Amino acid sequence: MARHALIRSFLFVALVTVGTAARASADDTWKAGTARANITPEEPMWMSGYGSRDHVSEGKLTDLWAKALAFEDPHGHRALLITLDLVGIDRELSGRVCRQIEERHQLQRSDIALCTSHTHTGPVVGHNLKAMYWQLDDAQWQQVDRYTGKLEKQLVALADEAISALQPCRLSWSRNTCTVAVNRRNNREADVPQLRSEGKLEGPVDHDVPVLVVRGEDGKPRAVAFGYACHATVLSFYRYSGDYPGFAQMEVEKALPGAVALFWAGCGADQNPLPRRNVEQAKAYGRRLAEAVLRAVDATTQPIKGTLATSYAEIDLPFDKLPTREQLESEAGSPNHYIASRAKLLLTKIDRDGALSPTYPYPVQVWRLGPDVRFVILGGEVVVDYALRLKRELGPTTWVAAYSNDVMAYIPSRRVLNEGGYEGGGAMVYYGLPTAWAPQVEELIVRKVKELAGAN
C-alpha cells in the first residue's frame, strides 16, 4: 500500500508540474498580425516638407506605404502600431482614424500609435504644415482633402486587416547602432565629410537602432519594427519616395522574405543625414540602417514575456507670449509669404473662437512590452535631447519615437529653446502656431512621460 501511495503521489506531482509548465508556456504566447497598403498618390499633387517647392509632383522614385503591426499579449490586451511614409499627420486626421479603430475593435486610444517616417518626398496631408503652402489654390486644397479622406479609409481598413491576421508568435527585442545622423545645429553641411574623417563632429546625437522582432511559430521573422533618430531629408526633388527610411525597409524585407518592415522616426528634429541630396546617398544610408537592423535580428535577441501595458495623455503645452490681433493684422500684409499665411490662419481662428488658445494639446504615449522595454511615443518634431534624457532617467531599454499621432511643431528642449534658431522657434511660422513654446515645455513633457511610465 505504501508503495502504491508513493507512486500515486509521484504521478500527481508530475501532472501538476506538466500542467504548470503548459500554463507558463501559454502565458508567454503573444499574437501578432501585419498588413500594408500603398498610399502613393495616384495623381500629381503638392508635396510636403520644403517651403521652396513651386509645383506639383513629377512621378515617383518608390511607392509610399502604410504598414500595421497588431499584437496581443497572453491576457488578450491588444495594441496597434501603424507606420506611415509621410512627413507628418495632423491632430484631426489622427483623431478620426483612432476613433474609428477604437469603435471597430474595442480598443482604447492608448492602444493605437500612428508613427510617421517624416520623409520630405511625400504629399501634403490634411492641415499639417498648412501655413507653408501659401501657393495652393482652392482646387489644390480640395485635392489634398480627397487624398486625406482616402488615406483615412485606408488606415482604418489596414487596422481591420492586421487585427484579423493575429496569429501566435514570439516577440523579442534587440538594438544596434548606425552613424548616419549628424547634429545639424553644430556642424555645417559642407564641412561634414572632413569633420567625420577627422572624428571632429560635434553636438549630441542618438545613434541607437531599437528593433522589435516578431517571429512565427516556425521561428521565421514575420515583422521587424525599428526606429532611428534622423531627418528623412536626403532627397528634395519632385518625385515621391520614402527617402532613406523607405530604402531601409525595402532592404530588410528583401533580406527577410515574408517579413514586414516598419520604421518609426526617433527624436531627430535636429539631426540630418549628411552629406545628402542624391538618390545614391539615400540608398546608401538606407542600406547602412538596414544592415544595423539585420545584425540586431541575427544577434541574440531578448524575449518579450509577460504582458502589455499602454497609456496615453495630452498635456496643455503652453506657448510663450501670444501675438495681438493688431500684430497679426500687420503681419497679414507682410511680403514674407509664410508670415502672411500664418497671420491669416491665426486671424481666422480668432474670428471663429474669439481668441487664440494659450496652450496646445500635446500627445504623450507610453507602451510597456514585457518587463524590459518601454516605448515612449511623442508628437511633433522632437529634438535629440529628449531621447538622451529619457534613456538616461528611465533606463537604456527605453525607446523613443517622435513624429507620432500629431506632428504640430518642433519640440525643443530647454537648451535648444534658449539657443533659439530654427528648431528653437523659427519653424513655428511654417506650422501656423502663434509663437515659440514657453520655457517649461521640456519639464512638462518629461514629467508626463515618467508619470505614464510609472503607471504601467
The answer to whether residue 17 is domain-embedded is no
Pairing of strands 208-215, 221-228: antiparallel
Q: What pLDDT band is residue 4 in, cutting at 50, 70 and 90?
A: very low
**High-pLDDT (> 70) share of the chain, %:** 94
The answer to whether residue 346 is domain-embedded is no
User: b or e along 415-442 (b: 16 or more beta carbons within 10 Å of the residue's beta carbon)?
Assistant: ebbeeeebbbbebbbbbbbbbbbeeebb
Q: Which amino acid belongs to residue 18? A: V
The model's pTM is: 0.93
pLDDT score, position 5: 45
The answer to whether residue 272 is domain-embedded is yes
Bridge partners (DSSP) of residue 160 are none
C-alpha torsion sign, points 375, 377, 378, 381:
positive
pLDDT score, position 2: 43
pLDDT, the chain, mean: 94
Predicted confidence (pLDDT) per residue in 338-384, tens digit: 999 999 999 999 999 999 999 999 999 999 999 999 999 999 999 99
Number of structural domains, the chain? Answer: 1
Predicted confidence (pLDDT) per residue in 304-324, tens digit: 999 999 999 999 999 999 999
Predicted confidence (pLDDT) per residue in 265-306, tens digit: 999 999 999 999 999 999 999 999 999 999 999 987 899 999
Say how many CA atoms lie within 13 Å of 107 toward its Cβ: 29
User: Would you say 195 and 61 are in contact if contact means Cβ atoms under 8 Å apart?
Assistant: no
The answer to whether residue 226 is domain-embedded is yes
Q: Which amino acid belongs to residue 399? A: W
Question: For residue 13, is pLDDT > 80?
Answer: no
Predicted confidence (pLDDT) per residue in 145-169, tens digit: 999 999 999 999 999 999 999 999 9
Predicted confidence (pLDDT) per residue in 59-115, tens digit: 999 999 999 999 999 999 999 999 999 999 999 999 999 999 999 999 999 999 999
Number of DSSP helices (H) and strands (E) in the chain, helices first: 13, 17
pLDDT score, position 361: 98
The answer to whether residue 126 is domain-embedded is yes
The answer to whether residue 139 is domain-embedded is yes
Bridge partners (DSSP) of residue 361 are 316
Q: Angle, to 10 degrees, between the axis of helix 138-164 and the axis of helix 91-105? A: 30
- CA angle at residue 151 from 132 to 423, to 5 degrees? 30
Bridge partners (DSSP) of residue 241 are none
User: b or e along 46-81 (b: 16 or more beta carbons within 10 Å of the residue's beta carbon)?
Assistant: bbbbebebeebbeeebbebbbbbbbbbbbeeebbbb
Pairing of strands 78-84, 112-116: parallel
pLDDT score, position 27: 58
The answer to whether residue 14 is domain-embedded is no
Q: Quick check: helix, strand or coil at residue 202?
A: coil
Predicted confidence (pLDDT) per residue in 176-220, tens digit: 999 999 999 999 999 999 999 999 999 999 999 999 999 999 999
Distance of CA 181 to the CA centre of its chain: 17
User: b or e along 321-352 (b: 16 or more beta carbons within 10 Å of the residue's beta carbon)?
Assistant: eebeeeebeebbeeeeebbbbbbbbbbeeeee
The answer to whether residue 9 is domain-embedded is no
pLDDT score, position 20: 34
Domain that holds residue 151: 30-322+358-455
DSSP string covering 320-355: SSPPPHHHHHHHTT-SSHHHHHHHHHHHHHHHHHSS
CB contact set of 435 (below 8 Å; sequence gap of 6+): 319, 320, 321, 322, 323, 425, 428
